[in-house]
Chains A and B, each alone.
Chain A
Amino acid sequence: MNPAKSLCNPRIHSMYRRHFMGTLGWGMSAAVANFNSLTGLCSDLRADNVRKDDKRVIILYLGGGASQMETWDPKPGQPTGGPYGAIPTSVPGLHISELLPRMAQRMHHLAVVRSVDNSGISSDHHGTGIHIGRKNEAAVQFPTLAEICTKELVLADTQVPPHVELQVWDTFRFETKHGMSFLGSQYAPLVLTGGKRPPDMDRLPAVSEMDHADREALRDYLSRRFEQSRGANEAESYSRTNGRARGVMACDELLDVDRCDAADLARYGPTPVARHCLLARRLVEAGVGVVKIRDTWWDTHGDNFEGQRVKCANLDHALSHLIDDLVDRGLMSHTLLVVLSEFGRTPDISASLGRNHWPKAWSVVMGGCGIQGGDLWQDEC
C-alpha cells in the first residue's frame, strides 16, 4: 500500500508533510509550533503579554508569623512596643515600623488591615488554616486561597502552569504539607522548592529530543482521532494537559531565577526572598495566574527583635522592588498582591525577649487590582 496515495485525510497529509517528509530533523507540528511562541514569550517578557482583563495574584506568605509590631502596626513607647520606632510613610498619617524604610515610601500602593483576627482557625504552624481560610477538618481537604483563585481565574488554556508555589527555603520547620484539595489536581501548584526546579522537567537522556517530539505528535494524533469520534470533554482535557508538558519544559528558562535579566538580579540582590520575588514577577508577566511565595523562619519565640530586624531588612528590600516593578510595568492594575502570615505575634514580650503566636489582632497588607492604596483598616479601641 502506498500511503501517500491511499490517504485523503487532510490532517494526515499535513502530518506527513510536517512530521515525516521534512528534513531528517524534525518539523514542527501545529501543537509543537505553539511552543515556539511560548519560547518567544519567555525570552521577551513584557507586561503586554498579560491580557488586560486577566487578573493575577501574588501571595507573599511570611511563614512562622511576622510580628505586626515590627512591621505594619508599630506601637512605639508602649510597654509592648519593643525597641524600634515608627516612621512616617508616603500616606499622610500612616506610620509603619522603622525596619521597613523602603516600604514606607511606597505605602500609597498598599492597603493595610490591622485588625485581622483568625483565632480559632490557626494557632500553631501545623494547621493550614490561613491558607484555606477556615479551620482544618480531618475529613475534608479544603482548597487553599491560591487554588480557589486558580480555579476562578479560569486559566486552563495557558501554556505556562496556571499556579506556581515558590518555596523560598528547602526545609519548612513545622509546616504541614498541604494535601490535594477536593477541587482536584488541576488547580494544585507546580512547586519549586529552594530555587530548585519541579520534578520531571528534564527529558531522560535515553529519549532523544527527536523521539520526544515524535511521540508527542503521535500521542496527539491518536488522541485526537479518539476524541473526534467520541466528543468527550474529559478526554480532551487530558490531552490538552499532556500537551502542556513540553510547553512547560520549554519554559524551563522562565522557572530558573538565574536566567533573569542581569540588571534585575543585581537590583533584587542575593537574598532568597528577593530572588523569589523577582521570579514571581517574571512568572506573572509570562501569564502564570497565581504565584505563592512561601518564606519562612519568622517564628521568633526567642530574640524577637534581632530576628524580625533581619527578616524585615530582607522583606523591605524584596517587596519594595517587587512593587516598583509591578507599578512600572503596568501590572499593578490587574495583579493582586497580598502579604500575610499564619498569625501575628504577641504584644507581650517573653523572658527570652521573644514574641509568641498571636492570632487575635495582626496585620495583612494588600495592593493592586483596584485596591485603594493608602487605606487603613483597623478597629478603633
Chain B
Amino acid sequence: MTTRHRPNSLVFLATRSSIRAVVLCWSAILVSLLGSACRGETSTNLVVSDSPSAASGTPDSVLADADATLAPMIDQWISAAWPDTTATPAPAANDAEFVRRLYLDLVGRLPLPAEQKSFLSDQAPLKRRELVDRLLNGEEYPIHFANQLTTHLLGRTALPAPKEWTDWLRQSLTHGKGWHTIVREILSAPPTPKDESGPAEFLVRKLSSNDPLDGVTRDVTRLFFGVDMQCARCHTHPEIPEWEPESYWGMAAFFNRSYLVEIDGRKVVAERARGEAVYTPAKSTDKITAEPRFMTGVVPPPQEAPPTEAEERINARKALYPEAKLDDPLLDNPDEYAVPPTEKPTAPSRPLYSRRAALIDMAIDANNPYFSRAIVNRAWAWLMGQGLVEPLDQLHSANSPTHPELLDALSEDFAAHNYDLRRLVRNIALSDTYQRSSVRLAGGEPPPRDLYLQAQVRPLSEYQMAVATLGAAGLMDGSQARADFEKANTDRIKELVLRFDTGSDQFAPSLALSLYLANNESFAKIIAEGGLVKRLLDNNDNEELIRTAFASVLSRAPDADEVAALRYYLAARSDRREQACQQIVWSLLTSSEFRFNH
C-alpha cells in the first residue's frame, strides 16, 4: 500500500529521518540550557529513561520524563518559525491563568476555588507537570475527552449522547485504548447486545440521515481522515486536482453496501455482498460505477474469490421472496454471506467479503499519513485554539500546515505510541508553547496567531460552557463525582448546549443567546438556585464577598480596581443585598472573560 500512495505520503516518509536528526540535535542544546529555560524544575518525581537527554545525566527537567520528549520538540519547531528580529514570546502564564486553562482543556470544567487555592499555594517545583498528570489520570479526563470526541464525531449538539456510546468511549479512554482501535470499532460496528452497542452509534446515526451514503462518506472522510471532499461529489475540486469525483465516490463505494436493519426494535448495521455506487459527474450523462479506493488513490487488495452469479441460488431466493424488489438484499446469493439477509433477521447480514472491513484494514495504518494527522491536528486545535492545518478538515496538498515538520513529528510519534491520545495531550500541555500567557504583548497589533507567541483567547465549546456555567453558579462543589454531576444535570446541560450552539464551528454570538442570558427564566434560575449567591451572602465583609465571586466564576483574584468598583456597587445597593449579589454573579457569568479560555 505504501508505494501506491501519492506524493503526500512519499514526502512524509522521506522527512522522517531528517526530523529525528533535528530532534536529537535540539535536545542536546536544550539539555545544556537547563534550569532557566525549563522553569527551574528540580529532580523530584523522575522517570528513569533511556532517551538521549536523560542519559546525558541532567535529570532536572521535563526532558528527563521519557514520555514528555515531545514537549520541548514542540517548542523548538514553534520557535524555529519565528522571525529573527521581532519575535518576543509572551512570558509563561501565571499559575492562576494556567490552572483555569488546564482544567478547561483536560477535564472540561473550571477549577473549584479550593483546587485553585491548593495549586497556587503549592511550592513543588514540578507542580504543573504533576497537575497535568493528576488530571490526565483522574476520572474526569475520560469524561471530558469522550465529550470532545462525541462533539467531533456525532455533532455539536449531540450531547448528552446515548449511554452505550458514552460509556464505551469513557471506558476506552480510561484504559488508554489507542485511537486506531477506537476508530476500528466504530467503523466495523459488529452486532452486539444493546449495552455493548456504543461504537455502532456513529454508523447508525450517519446511515439514518436523509441521504445515508453521502452522510456517511462525507463524515468518515472528514472526521477520520481530515478531508472534506464534498465538492468532489460532482466535480473535480477547483484547487486540488487530486480530489476528483473518483476520490469521493471511491470512498462512497466502501459504504454503499452498508445499511440498517431493525432487530428487537433497535437499528443495527448490516452489510450486503453486492451492490455498486453509481454516479453521474456534473455536466455529464454517463453513469459510472465507482471502484472502492481510498481518497489518495490507494485501492484495497482485490477480493480473493470474486463473487459469482449463482443463478439457481438466486432464483431459489426469488421464489422464496416473491414480493422482494429487484435490488433487495434478500435476493442475493446466500453463498456470499457469513450471515445472509433474511426477511425477519435475528442478526444483521454479514458478507464473506466486507468492503467496510477492506477500508478499515487499508486506511487505519501507520503508512496512511491522513489517519494520524487528522486527529493530531484536531487535538492540537482543542488545546491551542487553531489547527496546524486550518480549516481542520482541509488536510490536502494545496493547504500546507503552518508547521509541517511539527505535524509530521507529532503524527509519527502518535502512530509509534499506540495512537495514544493521552500521551499527545500531555506533551502539548507540558510545552512552553501551551503554557504561555494570553495577555496582550506590549505595543501595536497582536502578532500573527500561527507564530504562537502568546496563548490564544478561544471560546469554550458549548459543552465546556454548559458545565462551567453550572459549576460557577454553585452547582458543583466537589462533593459529587463528575459522572454523577453530569447525570444529575443532564437536562440543564442539554439546554445550555443548545443555547450556546452557534450552528457553526466558528464562534458566532447571536442576539437570541443574548436575550436568553438577559431575560430567560431558566437561566435566571441557575443563578438563583445555584448556591453561589447564597455563599456570597454569607460574607459580611464585602471584599471577601467579591473575592469569593471572582474565584468561583473567573477563577482568579480581582484586582484593586475591580474590588473598588464592586465594593462601591455593593454599598450603593446595600438596601438590596441579595439582588445585588445576583447581579454580580450574572455579570461575571455573561462577561467575555468567562466565555473564553485564555
Task: State the A residues within 8 Å of B (CB).
Answer: 1, 3, 6-7, 9, 12, 15-16, 19-20, 137-141, 161, 179-186, 188, 190, 198-204, 206-208, 211-212, 214-216, 218-219, 221-223, 225-227, 229-232, 234-242, 244-246, 248-249
**CB-CB < 8 A to A223: which residues of B?**
591-593
Q: What is the minimal beta-carbon distance from B546 to any residue of chain A, in angstroms?
A: 12
| Inter-chain contact B591/A184, CB cutoff 8 Å | no
**CB-CB < 8 A to B4: which residues of A?**
none
Q: What is the minimal beta-carbon distance from B216 to any residue of chain A, in angstroms?
A: 9
| Inter-chain contact B230/A138, CB cutoff 8 Å | no
| Inter-chain contact A235/B595, CB cutoff 8 Å | yes
**Interface segment, B51-59, B276-284, B501-509?**
B501-509
CB nearest neighbor in B for A221 = B565
- B512 located at the interface, meaning its Cβ lies under 8 Å from any Cβ of chain A in the complex: yes
| Inter-chain contact A234/B457, CB cutoff 8 Å | yes
Scan residues 508-564 of chain B and give those whose CB is less than 8 A from a CB of chain A.
Answer: 508-521, 524, 528, 560-562, 564
| Inter-chain contact A6/B564, CB cutoff 8 Å | yes
| Inter-chain contact A234/B596, CB cutoff 8 Å | yes
Interface string of B199-224 (1 = CB under 8 A from A): 00000000001110011001100000
CB nearest neighbor in B for A229 = B439
**Interface segment, B111-119, B127-135, B568-576?**
B568-576
Given contacts A184-B508, A226-B592, A241-B509, contact A200 B516 (CB under 8 A): yes
B560 partner, pick from A6, A202, A225, A236, beta carbons under 8 A: A6
| Inter-chain contact A138/B209, CB cutoff 8 Å | yes
| Inter-chain contact B592/A236, CB cutoff 8 Å | yes
| Inter-chain contact B211/A15, CB cutoff 8 Å | no
Interface string of B570-598 (1 = CB under 8 A from A): 01110010011011101110111101101
Interface size on B, residues (CB 8 A): 65
**CB-CB < 8 A to A141: which residues of B?**
503
| Inter-chain contact A245/B583, CB cutoff 8 Å | no
| Inter-chain contact A3/B564, CB cutoff 8 Å | yes
Closest 10 CB pairs of A and B: A180-B503, A184-B508, A185-B510, A218-B587, A215-B583, A232-B457, A184-B504, A241-B509, A226-B593, A235-B592
| Inter-chain contact B579/A211, CB cutoff 8 Å | yes
| Inter-chain contact B438/A190, CB cutoff 8 Å | no
- B89 located at the interface, meaning its Cβ lies under 8 Å from any Cβ of chain A in the complex: no
- B237 located at the interface, meaning its Cβ lies under 8 Å from any Cβ of chain A in the complex: no
**CB-CB < 8 A to B176: which residues of A?**
none
| Inter-chain contact B587/A230, CB cutoff 8 Å | no
B512 partner, pick from A181, A188, A238, beta carbons under 8 A: A188
CB nearest neighbor in A for B454 = A230
**CB-CB < 8 A to A204: which residues of B?**
519, 521, 524
Bound-state Cα–Cα, A248 to B211, Å = 40
- B440 located at the interface, meaning its Cβ lies under 8 Å from any Cβ of chain A in the complex: yes
Bound-state Cα–Cα, A65 to B573, Å = 58
B524 partner, pick from A183, A199, A206, A240, beta carbons under 8 A: A206
B567 partner, pick from A3, A212, A238, A240, beta carbons under 8 A: A3
- B446 located at the interface, meaning its Cβ lies under 8 Å from any Cβ of chain A in the complex: yes
| Inter-chain contact A208/B438, CB cutoff 8 Å | no
Bound-state Cα–Cα, A222 to B584, Å = 10
Task: State the B residues within 8 Å of A (CB).
Answer: 209-211, 214-215, 218-219, 230, 438-440, 446, 457-459, 501-504, 506-521, 524, 528, 560-562, 564-569, 571-573, 576, 579-580, 582-584, 586-588, 590-593, 595-596, 598
Given contacts A229-B439, A249-B518, contact A215 B508 (CB under 8 A): no
| Inter-chain contact A235/B457, CB cutoff 8 Å | yes
Chief secondary structure at chain A's binding surface: helix
| Inter-chain contact B507/A138, CB cutoff 8 Å | no
Given contacts A137-B214, A185-B512, contact A222 B588 (CB under 8 A): yes
A227 partner, pick from B219, B509, B566, B592, beta carbons under 8 A: B592
**CB-CB < 8 A to B219: which residues of A?**
139
- 21 A-B pairs with CB atoms under 8 Å apart are A3-B567, A139-B211, A181-B504, A185-B502, A185-B509, A185-B513, A199-B516, A202-B519, A207-B524, A207-B579, A211-B576, A211-B580, A214-B569, A215-B584, A226-B591, A234-B596, A235-B592, A238-B596, A239-B591, A242-B509, A242-B518
A20 partner, pick from B528, B569, B595, beta carbons under 8 A: B569
| Inter-chain contact A234/B511, CB cutoff 8 Å | no
B596 partner, pick from A185, A232, A248, beta carbons under 8 A: A232
| Inter-chain contact A218/B579, CB cutoff 8 Å | no
| Inter-chain contact B564/A185, CB cutoff 8 Å | no
| Inter-chain contact A9/B561, CB cutoff 8 Å | yes
**CB-CB < 8 A to A206: which residues of B?**
524, 528
CB nearest neighbor in B for A246 = B518
CB nearest neighbor in B for A5 = B564
CB nearest neighbor in A for B441 = A231
Q: What is the minimal beta-carbon distance from B537 to any residue of chain A, in angstroms?
A: 15
| Inter-chain contact B562/A222, CB cutoff 8 Å | yes
| Inter-chain contact B503/A200, CB cutoff 8 Å | no
Q: What is the minimal beta-carbon distance from B133 to any residue of chain A, in angstroms?
A: 29
**CB-CB < 8 A to B565: which residues of A?**
3, 12, 15-16, 221
Q: What is the minimal beta-carbon distance from A298 to any residue of chain B, in angstroms?
A: 26
Bound-state Cα–Cα, A140 to B438, Å = 34
**A161, A202, A235, A237 pick with most chain B CB within 10 angstroms:** A235
Bound-state Cα–Cα, A103 to B507, Å = 44
| Inter-chain contact A212/B510, CB cutoff 8 Å | no
Bound-state Cα–Cα, A187 to B457, Å = 23
CB nearest neighbor in A for B445 = A231
Q: What is the minimal beta-carbon distance from B215 to any residue of chain A, in angstroms?
A: 5
Bound-state Cα–Cα, A180 to B510, Å = 11
B590 partner, pick from A181, A198, A219, beta carbons under 8 A: A219
**CB-CB < 8 A to B503: which residues of A?**
141, 179-182, 184-185, 188
| Inter-chain contact B511/A218, CB cutoff 8 Å | no
Q: What is the minimal beta-carbon distance from A329 to any residue of chain B, in angstroms?
A: 26
Q: What is the minimal beta-carbon distance from B465 to any residue of chain A, in angstroms?
A: 11
CB nearest neighbor in B for A183 = B504
Given contacts A139-B209, A219-B591, A230-B457, contact A241 B564 (CB under 8 A): no
